[in-house]
Amino acid sequence: DVKVTQSSRYLVKRTGEKVFLECVQDMDHENMFWYRQDPGLGLRLIYFSYDVKMKEKGDIPEGYSVSREKKERFSLILESASTNQTSMYLCAATRGTPHYNEQFFGPGTRLTVL
Bridge partners (DSSP) listed for residue 44: 36
Order across the sheet with 73-78: list the strands: 4-6, 19-25, 73-78, 64-70
Name which position in 25, 75, 87, 103 contacts other proteins (CB under 8 A): 103
With CB under 8 A as the contact rule, the residue among 26, 65, 107, 114 that binds other proteins is: 107
Q: How many CA atoms lie within 13 A of 18 on its CB side?
A: 5
Strand 64-70 versus strand 56-57 pairing type: unpaired
CB of 78 to other proteins, least distance (A): 20
Report 50-89 residues binding other proteins (CB under 8 A).
Answer: 56, 58
Residues interacting with other proteins, by CB under 8 A?
Answer: 4, 9, 31, 33, 35, 40-45, 48, 56, 58, 90, 92, 98-100, 102-108, 110
